[in-house]
A and B are shown apart, each in its own frame.
Chain A
Amino acid sequence: MDESSSSTWRRSWPGIAIWAAGWAALLLLDGRVDLANQALVLVATAALATLWLPGWASALAALAGVAAFNWSFVPPRYSFSVDVEQHALLLATLLVVVWTVAALVTRQRRLALAAARDARREARLRTWGDALRDASDPAVHAGTLQSMLAEAASVPVALLIDTAQADPLQVGAPDADQRAGLELCLREGRPLGPGSGRYEEQPDVYLPLRGRGHTLGAAVLQGQGRGARSELLLPHLQALCDQMGQALLRAQGEREAQRLSDAAHDQATRSALLAAIAHDHRTPLATILGAASSLAEQGERLDAAQRRRLAHGIVDEAGRLARLTDNTLQLARLDAPGVQLGCDWESAEELVGAALQRARRRDGGQRLKAWVEPALPLLWCDALLLSQLLDNLVDNALKYSPADAPVEITARRQGEEVVLAVRDRGEGVPPAWRERIFEVFRRGEAPAVADRPGAGVGLAVSRAIARAHGGTLRLRARSHGGSAFECVLPVRPQPAVPQGET
């Protein structure tokens, strides 16, 4: 209370000063001008002072001023007695005029205050609306709503927000009663407490955060019921709460829509992936089943060379099936969020050399050559994954190029990157397919490769492996025919190694 009275006084001091100046002028003019002119000075003083003084003070000051004027200047001077005929009318008019001015100014001031308050509220609603519209998750704005309500209502505020997960989100510090009230309000979706028409005896006011048809939270104005309350304030606070409620509902709807769309997309991807994988597995399985059943049922009638050929077919196709399974598993692993790589410092020369050695053990691997630029930086990578990538690219190149055409596996530095490449002299890939062959479920549609197994999953895994290392895998057409699959990996700051010895 002290604070508000002192601020009233601070606002009023120009009014008091004007009264003092007016009286000084009256005293100064006394005897030089007639009474009517002095009365005008008094009117002017009172009207001017009213602009700064509260209404009641203006009225009192005017009354006191007229009385003092009567005492000081109106004959008979220094008495309150009045010459009825001459001056009563003058004094009465004086009083009425001064009071009217005071009343008008006060009313005007109140209107201005209301307008300013409405503007403030409107601005608050607008800012709040903007903040909520831009928020991806309006629940993060709960703190803002809390402080905004607290500022508007001048009492502490606590919130309870239904996040559609296990526990509602609580903001602020409600006591047990208030928490129960919040839960009731959230459940019923209607305001409680003084001014709401329900539970009027409660010390606190509860407002629901309402969206269309749903209540997504509740706010408690702690102690609002005890303080002075304005009938106009509650609708404003309710509007703030409802904006939050609508934003929460909208966000919930968006989340749900996103989830459904993700699920549908996942389902489509998974189905396509499974179809592609099943297709890729069926081809080697057909060979294995054919050869094995032939051995089982016709074994006696086959000669040794035929039996050996069938058995080798089974071994080769089983090997292909094993690689396919590794690729499929790896694809699923790399697809999972937060996949952990087993990274270490690796030498490109060793990765290339090991891939070459594995390939040469298989049919057709003899036409593979390797070239590694000397003094390449070490790579920070998962050796098993990079080996799998190189195996896939080598497999692919051997499969899609003529049996006598060379296939190269190279490693070179290019600026701040190391490029591991597998290059063939096959028929190449049509431009329209250079991106799409990396998509696992596209393979079956490509006319040129439709009858050759295994490219789909292998290239998709290889690209996933390159990306998991912060690199890329791309396909470049070579100038004299054929393709180059290039895995580009970033070079990291190199680790310390022992100094040279001789």
Chain B
Amino acid sequence: MSLQVLLVEDDRELRATLREALTVEGHCVLAAASLADARALVAHAQRDGGPGIDLVLLDLGLPDGDGQALLAQLRARQQVPVIVISAGTAEERKIRLLDAGADDYLVKPFGIGELLARMRVALRHRGRHVAAAVIRWRHGALEVDLAAHRVRRDGQDLHLTPTEFALLARLVRSAGQVVTHRRLLADVWGAEATEQTQYLRLYMGQLRAKLEDEPAAPRCLLTEPGVGYRIVEGDEAGASGG
């Protein structure tokens, strides 16, 4: 699968390394060192008949501003996946971009393997073939069927409360991707509950107790400290997503 990837990164060395690594994977890389460059490339690629951009890797520490404007510009035309690349010091901006609709994030320094995995997940969710929302998810002995409102472990039905189910469903719909605290709270409890992180702690604890073999060493319901939660990708992600 050859993709058109827009790489927005101001550090020359990292840009060159990433470009090379992505080219090896067979992707076509458009590289930009600033927001202005990136905007120009987006405008060019989005012209009628252009190949379009399949995925964006967006660094936060750009010399000429915040990535949020670029994110808005990209979202205006198509649901192109955006993965935020952040340095450890840019927590707040990173979360703001995730809340504004970025798909995932990577903290510098990161390995190429991790980057490729995140890209695969992001593309699966809203790639070139606009995927139907994940409605069935399976990982090991766990099965979630959103349409049938059913959760099974080792073939046995599990009883979840309505809130637990809503929370699990929200994570499953973004399987493999991080979902921020704010997003989860807004989608499950409503817009007025976005600051009540303790609700999440309570219900995630209950979900881990019901779903995980070892709640203190979870394998499915993963915590991204300070950012949000992520449920791992399903075993047959391609199939259940398609």
With contacts A370-B214, A498-B199 taken as known, whether A349 is within 8 angstroms of B163 at the C-beta atoms is no
In the complex, how many angstroms separate the beta carbon of B211 from the nearest chain A beta carbon? Answer: 13
A386 CB contacts on chain B under 8 angstroms:
225
Q: Contact flags (1/0) for A309-337 with B, using CB distance below 8 Å?
A: 00000010011001000100100000000
The reply to whether the CB of A394 lies closer than 8 angstroms to some CB of chain B is no
| Count of chain B residues with a beta carbon within 8 Å of a chain A beta carbon | 28
A494 to B88 CA separation, bound complex (whole angstroms):
30
Q: Which of A215-223, A299-307, A350-358, A446-454 contacts B (4 or more CB under 8 A)?
A: A350-358
With contacts A354-B224, A384-B91 taken as known, whether A349 is within 8 angstroms of B109 at the C-beta atoms is no
Residues of B80-96 contacting chain A, CB below 8 A: 88-89, 91
The reply to whether the CB of B21 lies closer than 8 angstroms to some CB of chain A is no
A326 to B88 CA separation, bound complex (whole angstroms):
8
A96 to B204 CA separation, bound complex (whole angstroms):
110
B181 CB contacts on chain A under 8 angstroms:
344
The reply to whether the CB of B101 lies closer than 8 angstroms to some CB of chain A is no
A350 to B198 CA separation, bound complex (whole angstroms):
12
Residues of B178-201 contacting chain A, CB below 8 A: 181, 196-199, 201
The reply to whether the CB of B241 lies closer than 8 angstroms to some CB of chain A is no
With contacts A370-B216, A497-B202, A501-B162 taken as known, whether A354 is within 8 angstroms of B208 at the C-beta atoms is no
With contacts A370-B217, A372-B216, A501-B163 taken as known, whether A353 is within 8 angstroms of B201 at the C-beta atoms is no
With contacts A315-B111, A354-B224, A498-B163 taken as known, whether A346 is within 8 angstroms of B201 at the C-beta atoms is yes
Which residue on chain B has the smallest CB distance to residue A390? B225
Q: Contact flags (1/0) for A384-398 with B, using CB distance below 8 Å?
A: 101100000000000
Chain A's interface size range is 35 or more
With contacts A347-B205, A349-B216, A372-B215 taken as known, whether A383 is within 8 angstroms of B161 at the C-beta atoms is no
In the complex, how many angstroms separate the beta carbon of A285 from the nearest chain B beta carbon? Answer: 14
With a 10 A CB-CB cut-off, give which of B91, B204, B223 has the most chain A CB atoms: B223
Which residue on chain B has the smallest CB distance to residue A352? B216
With a 10 A CB-CB cut-off, give which of A349, A351, A384, A494 has the most chain B CB atoms: A349
B88 CB contacts on chain A under 8 angstroms:
326, 329
CB <8 Å contact, A349 and B208: yes
In the complex, how many angstroms separate the beta carbon of A215 from the nearest chain B beta carbon? Answer: 50
Partner of B198, one of A318, A329, A497: A497
CB < 8 Å A-B pair total = 82
The reply to whether the CB of B135 lies closer than 8 angstroms to some CB of chain A is no
Partner of A344, one of B197, B214, B216, B223: B197
The reply to whether the CB of A78 lies closer than 8 angstroms to some CB of chain B is no
The reply to whether the CB of B226 lies closer than 8 angstroms to some CB of chain A is yes
The reply to whether the CB of B222 lies closer than 8 angstroms to some CB of chain A is yes
CB <8 Å contact, B109 and A322: yes
In the complex, how many angstroms separate the beta carbon of B194 from the nearest chain A beta carbon? Answer: 12
Which residue on chain A has the smallest CB distance to residue B221? A353
The reply to whether the CB of A80 lies closer than 8 angstroms to some CB of chain B is no
B201 CB contacts on chain A under 8 angstroms:
345-347, 350, 378
CB <8 Å contact, A378 and B225: no
A71 to B84 CA separation, bound complex (whole angstroms):
121
The reply to whether the CB of B63 lies closer than 8 angstroms to some CB of chain A is no
The reply to whether the CB of A371 lies closer than 8 angstroms to some CB of chain B is yes
In the complex, how many angstroms separate the beta carbon of B43 from the nearest chain A beta carbon? Answer: 36
The reply to whether the CB of A213 lies closer than 8 angstroms to some CB of chain B is no
A329 CB contacts on chain B under 8 angstroms:
88-89
The reply to whether the CB of A6 lies closer than 8 angstroms to some CB of chain B is no
With contacts A315-B111, A347-B204 taken as known, whether A371 is within 8 angstroms of B197 at the C-beta atoms is no
With a 10 A CB-CB cut-off, give which of B111, B198, B216, B223 has the most chain A CB atoms: B216
Binding site for A on B (CB under 8 A): 88-89, 91, 109, 111, 161-163, 181, 196-199, 201-202, 204-205, 208, 214-218, 222-226
16 contacts between A and B (CB under 8 A): A322-B109, A349-B205, A349-B208, A350-B204, A350-B223, A351-B223, A354-B224, A354-B225, A357-B218, A357-B222, A371-B216, A382-B226, A384-B226, A387-B225, A495-B198, A501-B162
- Nearest 9 A/B pairs, CB to CB: A383-B225, A372-B216, A350-B223, A383-B226, A370-B216, A347-B201, A345-B198, A354-B223, A495-B198
Binding site for B on A (CB under 8 A): 315, 318-319, 322, 326, 329, 342, 344-347, 349-354, 356-357, 369-372, 378, 382-384, 386-387, 411, 494-498, 501-502
